[in-house]
Amino acid sequence: DIQMTQSPSPLSASVGDRVAITCRASQNIANYLNWYQQKPGKAPKLLIYAASSLQSGVPSRFSGSGSGTDFTLTISSLQPEDFATYYCQQSYITPRTFGGGTKLEIK
Partner 1 sequence: QVQVVQSGTEVKKPGASVTVSCKTSGYAFTTRDISWVRQAPGQGLEWMGFISASDGNTNYAQKFQGRVAMTTDTPTSTAYMELRNLRSDDTAVYFCVVEGASGPYVYFDDWGQGTQVTVSS
Q: Which residues bind partner 1 (CB under 8 A)?
A: 1, 31-32, 34, 36, 38, 43-46, 49-50, 53, 55, 87, 89, 91, 94-101
Residue among 28, 33, 23 nearest 68 (CA): 28
Nearer to partner 1, 49 or 62 (CB): 49
Nearer to partner 1, 17 or 46 (CB): 46
- What's the CA gap between 83 and 39, in Å, rounded? 8
The distance of closest approach from Cβ of residue 36 to partner 1 in the complex, given in angstroms and rounded to an integer, is 7
Distance CA 69, CA 73 (A): 14
Smallest gap, in angstroms, from Cβ of residue 20 to partner 1?
20
Rounded least distance, CB 87 to partner 1, Å = 6
What is the C-alpha R_g of the chain? 13
Nearer to partner 1, 83 or 98 (CB): 98
Q: How many CA atoms lie within 13 A of 1 on its CB side?
A: 10
SS3 category, 26? coil
